Amino acid sequence: MLERIVNISPNTDYKKSNGNHKFNRKNNPYAFSSITNNDSVSISPATALLSSYGWKLKNFNSGDDKIEISFEYEDFLFVASLELIELSKYQRINYRVSKTVNNYSAEVTITIGVSAPVAEDNRKNDSSRKMDKLKAFFEHIREVTLSKPNFITDILTLDTLYADYKNELKEEFFYLNHCLMKFLETYLSKKIDITNIEGVEHDFKIKSIQIK
């Protein structure tokens, strides 16, 4: 059961605390609950780190063994869920990525399901990266004028749609994963050394496309 849902206001002052705050570790040393005098939540060093990336944190759910996070970046909404058990063996992070676009006669919301590998070398990439190829891919989806509503999970259809974008998308999500793992290290006060497991596939995948 998730212990806390944190909603971050875009007007939150990152340098000031609202009320008295304390953090309690319960049975699991990585599980925290935030206690405040009102609905505002002070920005922890971990969430301040996300802000330094240009990410706008929307929701953050912290449980005993799982973290769920949603944030806006480059006009996209990203949602990710991460298990806290055996983080060093984490091989990939699954995202839902959404954006509302103008599809000629009406607005549509495109959501893609992404499975992006976590690699040892992606942690060396500290340079900021724009999501230009992701923007181009969403524009490509819009231009092929898929019918609305639509939910695509067929592997061959998906492969055809993103084949020309795959390598660059992989690099962009390497950057996201790098930032997200640094966020976890700060939040948990724990260094995470990723160890790639032999025989585990490390390919970038788009697992679904939804249009509604």
Length of the chain: 212
Which pLDDT value is given to residue 167? 94
Q: Which residues pair with 31 in a beta bridge?
A: none
Residue type, 30: Y
Distances (CA, A) of 208 to 52, 82, 192: 30, 19, 29
Least confident interval from 69-73, 76-80, 120-124, 187-191? 120-124
Tell me the whole-structure pTM to 2 decimals: 0.77
**46, pLDDT greater than 60:** yes
Helix, strand, or coil here: 42?
coil
**210, pLDDT greater than 80:** yes
Largest Cα–Cα distance in the chain?
Answer: 54
Q: What's the rounded Cα separation, in Å, for the pair 149 and 109?
A: 10
Least confident interval from 4-8, 22-26, 55-59, 86-90? 22-26
DSSP letter for each residue of 84-147: -TTGGG--EEEEEEEEEEEETTEEEEEEEEEEEE--GGGGG--S----HHHHHHHHHHHHTT--
More confident residue, 140 or 192: 140
Percent of the chain beyond pLDDT 70? 70
Which pLDDT value is given to residue 188? 84
More confident residue, 207 or 40: 207
Is residue 99 within 8 Å of residue 76, measured between CB atoms? Answer: yes
Is residue 159 within 8 Å of residue 165, measured between CB atoms? Answer: no
